[in-house]
Every structure is written in C-alpha cells, then in structure tokens.
Amino acid sequence: MATLQRLGSPVNGNGSGAATGDHNTPPTSLPPTPPPTLALAPSSSTDPRSHPPDLALLFDLIPLPQLILSPSCAITRASARFLADWAVTVDQCVGRDLLSFLQAHLQPLGDPTGHIAASIDDAISSRAVRTTKAIYRHTSSWIARIIPVFKEDELLAIVTEWRESPVALADQELFRPGLSNDEAFRILVQAVKDYAIFLLDTNGRIATWNTGAELLKGYKRDEIIGQHFSVFYGKEDLDIGKPGMELEICLREGRVEDEGWRYKKDGTRFWANVIITAVYKDGVHVGFGKVTRDLSERKSAESRLIRAYEESEKLKSDFLANMSHEIRTPMHGILSACSLLIDTPLSERQRDIVNIMEESGQVLFQVINDILDYSKLASGSFSIKSDIVGVSSTVASVVRSVQPTLPPAVHFELFLSPELPKSVQGDPLRYRQILQNIISNAAKFTEKGSIRVRATVQEEDEVSYLILTEVTDTGIGILEHATALLFTPFTQYDITTTKQYKGTGLGLSIARSLAELMEGRIGYRPNPDRHGSIFWFTARFKKIKNLEQIQDWRQRGFNPDGSPLEVPSAGALVRASELAASASTKTLLLVEDNVINQKVMLGLLRSLGFKNTALASNGAEAVNMVCGKPAAYDLVLMDINMPILDGHEAAARIREHGIRVPIVAMTAYALKGDRERCLEHGMDDYIPKPVDKQNLIKTLARWLLETRDYRLPPIDVSADNSVVPASDKVQPNVEVTDKQIGKDGDTPVIR
C-alpha cells in the first residue's frame, strides 16, 4: 500500500516528492520501453540491486496517455502524455471523479459516461482487461483500456490506458488547418459507403470513383476510370439509347432521376435509384455528378407486397366466384320451380304463397348481385360501357316499374326538363341502376305523401351534358347525426330501420361508386318542405354528334366504343307463343348435373313447348351424344361446372369435330369474364343462373327462329374465289367402338 500511496502523489520529473511543476509539456525524449505494470515494492531492502527505478518517474515518462484511478474512480495520477494529448493540467484532472471529468471535457454528443462506467464495472467484476467504445473529444475520438489491479481480493487501483481511434484520424484530416471546403468534401464523398457517388466528364466517361461505388458495383477504381457509364445498363436500356437520353435530359433540365435495373461487374443486377446532375464551373459545363442507391431490398419488399395483394385478390375472386355459383345454383332451382308452379292451377292461398316464395327469392338474388357489384367496384374491376342512353325514357321506365310497389297513400310526380337531350352516349344499365336504387329507397321509406322525380341538365359544354336527377320523398327522413353513414357499405343508419325495411346497406354505396365512374357525384339533403329526404346524383354523358353512325354501329353489332353490343336482338320481341309453335319440331339437349335443376329446366322447357329434350348429366355424355348423332340436336344448353368433363371442355371437343350446333352456356358462373370464357371455348351464347324465363325465351328464339339452320351446308369461298358447299369438304371422322355403344345404340363414345 505504501507504493500505491507514493504513486498517488504527483512528482516532478527528477523524482522529488513534491509536485511543483506543470505537466502540460511532454518529455523531450520517450524511451522505447513497453508499458509498465504496477508492482508493489517492498518498503526496504538490504540489497541495493533490488531497489527498482522510481515508479512515479517511470509512469510520468510512459509514451501513452494513462490515468490511475482509486477504487472509487477518482483520478489519482495522470501521465505526462495524457496531460499533453488532452490539453489539461494536473489540477484539472487529479482528484476529480473520472466520469465527471470526461463529461466536462468531451464534445457534447450525448452522454458517453454510461458505457464507460459499465466497462469499469465489467473489468472489476471479471478481473480482466476491458475496452470501451469510442468517445469523442473535440476533433478526436478515444478508446480506453480498463485494467483493474488487485491484491488477492482487494482492489488497489484502476489503470486506464487511452489511445486515439482511427475515426479520429479521419476527423483530424477533415478539420486540419488550411483544409479547403473542396478537399473536405472530396474526403467525405470518398468515405461514403452506402451510395455510389462519382463524376462523369462531358461525354459520360467516369472520372472519379468513391468507396460506395466500388462496394455497390464491384469495380476497382483503376479498372473503371475512363469507361463510359453505360456499362452499368442492360441490353434493353442500351437498345433504346437510355444513357444518352438521360444526359440530354440532364443538360436540358439540370437533373434527371430514374429507377430501374443496373448491372454490376459480375453481371448480377440490382434495382437502383439514380440521380444525375449537370456540373458547371464558372458557367461552363464540365461534367455530370451521378449518385446511385441500391433499392433492391425495397423493390423486393414491394414485389412481395404485390404478390401478396394479387394472391389475396385471387382468393377473393375465387371465393366470390364459388359463392356466386353455390348460391345461384339452388336459387335457380327455387325460382324456376316457382315459375313453373305459378303457371299451374292454384287456389288463391296457394298462389299467394308461391308469390311470396318468388318475391323472397328475387330479393335474395338482388342481395347477391349487390355484393358482387360492390366487390367489383372495390377491386377496380368494374367498367362503364358506352351506348345510346335515352335519359327521359329511362327515368320514366324506372318510375313505372316502381309505381306498383307504392302504398295507396303515395303518388308519383315526374318532371322531365324540356332541355334534356333525346339521346346521349353513356352506360344505360348503370344509369338505370342508380335511378332504381334511389327511387326504390324512396318508395321503401315513404308510407304516405308523394315521391317527386326530377331530371334536368345541370351543365353543358361542347362535348357533354351533366345530368342532374333528384328524388324527393315525404318519408321517414334521416336524423342529422346519421347522414355520415348514408354511403358507407353494409350500413343502415338505425338497426330498427334495418329490421323493419331490410336490405344490406350496399345500395347507396354502389350508387355513389357508379356515379363517380360516370364523372358525377351523389348526395343527400333534408326535404325543406316537409318530412322526408332529397337524394340527388349527377352523371356525365357525351353528346351524340352523328346518331346515324351510332345506329349503324349497333346494326352491325358494336357499341360506339367498338365493344361488342350486348343488347337483345329482334328475336327478343318474339312472343312465347311464337316460339312454342315451332318448339315441337325442335330437339334440344340439356346438359346439367344437378338433379333438381334437371327437373326444373325440363319442366320449364316443356312449358315452352319443347317436348323433345334429351338429357346429359356431364360434359362427357354430351360429347358422346352430340358427336354420335351430329344432326340430332337443334341446340345445346350447357352447364359449366360438372363432373368428369366440364362444359368448357365439352364445347371445345364438340367444336374440334366440326359440329356447329348452337351451344348456349347456362351457368351459375356470372362474374366478369365468365361469359367471355364460355365464348372462347366455342359456345355461342350465355344465360346466367338463376335462369330468367323471358331471357331464356329470347335466347332460344334468337338461335332457333332467327339463325340459319347449322345443318345446312354453309357457303365457303375457295382459294380461286369459287363457291364450294361445305358438305364437299372432308369432315373429321368420329371413331366409335361397338363396346362403347349403349344398349339402345344411341350413345357412342369418342375415342
């Protein structure tokens, strides 16, 4: 302990016990001796050779910045080198607590004393040397080695040995006197590792190369300097001259930014954000500055999100398709059975019950359609078509359709402005859908008084009209606090209202989306005259400049936008009695796997006069029957989702054998694209389930009364423009084995 007490007393360089001099100046010569280790010298010895050199003097001459601390971390001794490097005096450090001393003399970049204290505690508890993190002091940073000194279990002292960290050397380079801003900036850019930063000459050749560029692109400075920066671009970009275009834009606009694939030396590519800036000196263009950042991780994350979104959209679409199919299939049975039943002799009570069943089924059908419409609108897959719209006639038609549902105490008032154009171009179905929803809501919530429907032209320009439609009722009205919920999906403003009036709360939400798609808006305000509501919406329609041209398009089967026309043909006007007159001469094939739907469809067809209707339970049976007797059937009604062979594949196989019998898809798949898929597989028409009787009549009439008999040889034009009957062509053969023919010999199987 005597030696430690001596070490704790400041001494002069001559070894005297009093500290009278200042230790700001380091010794002029530093002996090349290794750092000393502390030893406890005996207090006396009879052998002069056993007397060691004065340890205080040795400590003072050590060429390392060192501090000796007491067990309580008070500074008891500072080496001359420490005093010089830290530019402090003995009085400023000796006797002070280490942590408070460091806090007072460090650059204010947070509190570094926490990890210093932790390192000291760790060194003491483990009785081992520990090294601290770098701490910053003005223009330098330091790392300390903590050396605890023990005698048996007693902590005698703590030696801290300080060395300057490499970071500090760079800092000193940046802040050395006389360093210009340009030099400092060059050093900074060169040290950046996360960005490739380099200069190009006026021709686009690489003039500088920083550490980040080397790490990102894989080229060493010596091998890339002088090369053209297009070396980083792929073939597609090079083919269109992208590097040159970027420099041209940069010269014209001052900078250009791009994201795309860039290539490394090893041929691998990464997704890069690139900024090129034109560089000028004294007004003269001297080159370009280019900064490249690797965004591969972000691109990968975006790709994962896109894939997840696409997968979720596919799952949703699959769910909706399956839901639609699974609900429409039994609904087809229910509604078709009701339609058949209501045409039979019934008592008044029985007829009322059947009407209730049919009305309830239609309500459920509308709910399903609302959900599907909302889903398509939400996913952005909904599109507006272009056709001729008669605004006045459409409004009047909707009013007429809703009028029978009104209570006796409610009457309609219809006002159609004389300024309304006779015909405009837009989507008649979606315009009618918005009208139907708003007017039906007014009828639902009005028990007495009136419903006034008013349509006017709100705006007009050279190419379009903005049509305003208002529906004013004297119904129950809407509380002020509930108006915010009006256009929210699946919401009605009061649960008691939902119970009383039913509905999904989707109608107004769908109407709003449709109005926006038609470049309009929808809104609500209270009826100022009396109790009730005013719902209004606007929709933009294009002016028709050449009605004759549009009518010509329609006659040729196209909409004004060039899409196929989906409107009933003249055959839609054929009455059921006219179809029934020829039905006895026609033979149909019904392809349906569901037993209930088989029964109701056979009953429905018989009610229309089609007594000769064959039945196939799956697509394979249908192929066998049609290909076995190609001229036996006048029309095929084909379900899609069936076991063994679905309707798509069955239709395709029939067409492969050159058989041109009309095939009409009759399916519960009723989402966007389902009709198109049916036509792509060789079918001629499409009827969604539940099958509407009038739609069925129109479709059958179209193909059985208006279309040329497919069994007559069509006219074909040969290569020399001579007319050749198709029957003279070589027809594909259908090979049938005896074992595959049924007992009655009527059901061959294709091999």
Reported as a single tens digit per residue, the pLDDT across 459-503 is 999 999 999 999 999 888 777 666 666 766 555 554 444 434 444
Residue 228 or residue 719, greater confidence: 228
pLDDT at 637: 95
CB-based contacts of 460, cutoff 8 Å, min separation 6: 466
Per-residue pLDDT averaged across 404-416, rounded?
Answer: 88
Per-residue pLDDT averaged across 643-654, rounded?
Answer: 92
Class of domain 310-376: mainly alpha
pLDDT at 9: 34
Helix ranges restricted to H, 584-642: 595-607, 619-628
Tell which CATH architecture fits domain 182-294.
2-Layer Sandwich (3.30)
Rounded Cα distance between 577 and 146, Å, is 107
Question: Which pLDDT band holds residue 27 (cuts at 50, 70, 90)?
Answer: very low
Residue 342 or residue 550, greater confidence: 342
Amino acid at 50: S
CB-based contacts of 592, cutoff 8 Å, min separation 6: 598, 601, 615, 616, 617, 637, 639, 642, 666
Candidates 586, 615, 592; CA nearest to 703 is: 586
Question: Which pLDDT band holds residue 455 (cuts at 50, 70, 90)?
Answer: very high
Choice among 155-164, 391-400, 662-671 with the minimum mean pLDDT: 662-671
pLDDT at 548: 62
Per-residue pLDDT averaged across 357-366, rounded?
Answer: 74
Residue 334 or residue 590, greater confidence: 590
Rounded Cα distance between 322 and 87, Å, is 81
CB-based contacts of 207, cutoff 8 Å, min separation 6: 198, 199, 200, 201, 225, 287
**Residue limits of CATH 3.30.565.10 in the chain:** 386-555
Rounded Cα distance between 274 and 258, Å, is 5
pLDDT at 745: 36
Question: Which pLDDT band holds residue 379 (cuts at 50, 70, 90)?
Answer: low
pLDDT at 655: 92
pLDDT of residue 168 exceeding 90, the answer is no
**For the chain, how many residues are written?**
751
Rounded Cα distance between 22 and 15, Å, is 14
Amino acid at 164: E
Rounded Cα distance between 602 and 596, Å, is 10
For the record, the structure tokens of 240 come out as 């269109």
CB-based contacts of 241, cutoff 8 Å, min separation 6: none
**Residue limits of CATH 3.40.50.2300 in the chain:** 570-740
pLDDT tens, residue by residue, 38-96: 443 444 444 544 555 566 777 777 788 899 999 999 999 998 888 888 888 999 999 99
The DSSP bridge partners found for residue 716 are 724
The answer to whether 533 and 524 have CB atoms below 8 angstroms apart is yes
Residue 357 or residue 48, greater confidence: 357
Q: Reduce the DSSP state of residue 290 to 3 states and report it.
A: strand
**Residue limits of CATH 3.30.450.20 in the chain:** 2-36+52-172, 182-294
CA angle 464, 469, 473 (to 5 degrees): 175
Q: The domain 570-740 is classified under which CATH number: 3.40.50.2300, 3.30.390.10, 3.30.70.2860, 3.30.420.10?
A: 3.40.50.2300
Residue carrying structure tokens 């019998």: 661
pLDDT of residue 7 exceeding 50, the answer is no
Strand extents, DSSP E, 336-436? 387-389, 410-416, 424-426
| Domain 2-36+52-172 in CATH 3.30.450.20 | yes
CA distances from 280 to 180, 250, 287, 291 (A): 19, 12, 7, 17
pLDDT of residue 181 exceeding 70, the answer is no
Number of Cβ atoms within 10 Å of the Cβ of 164: 17
pLDDT at 87: 85
CA distances from 642 to 17, 474, 592, 636, 654 (A): 108, 51, 7, 15, 16
pLDDT at 401: 81
Per-residue pLDDT averaged across 288-298, rounded?
Answer: 91
Residue 713 or residue 471, greater confidence: 471
Give Dmax (Cα) for the chain: 144
Strand pairing class (269-281; 284-294): antiparallel
Q: How many CA atoms lie within 13 A of 630 on its CB side?
A: 18
Residue carrying structure tokens 């069955």: 650
DSSP per residue, 97-122: BHHHHHHHHS-SSS-THHHHHHHHHH
pLDDT at 12: 36
Rounded Cα distance between 469 and 456, Å, is 7
Amino acid at 391: V
- Whole-number average pLDDT of the chain: 77
Rounded Cα distance between 185 and 191, Å, is 10
Question: Which pLDDT band holds residue 267 (cuts at 50, 70, 90)?
Answer: very high
| Domain 386-555 in CATH 3.30.50.10 | no
**Residue limits of CATH 1.10.287.130 in the chain:** 310-376
Residue 113 or residue 354, greater confidence: 354
Candidates 415, 511, 421, 413; CA nearest to 457 is: 421
Per-residue pLDDT averaged across 340-355, rounded?
Answer: 84
Residue 58 or residue 279, greater confidence: 279
Question: Which pLDDT band holds residue 219 (cuts at 50, 70, 90)?
Answer: very high
Long-range contacts of 18-23 (CB under 8 A, 24+ apart): 19/90, 22/89, 22/90, 23/60, 23/78, 23/80, 23/83, 23/84, 23/89, 23/90
pLDDT at 25: 38
Per-residue pLDDT averaged across 563-570, rounded?
Answer: 45
pLDDT tens, residue by residue, 584-600: 889 999 999 988 888 88
Residue 528 or residue 575, greater confidence: 528
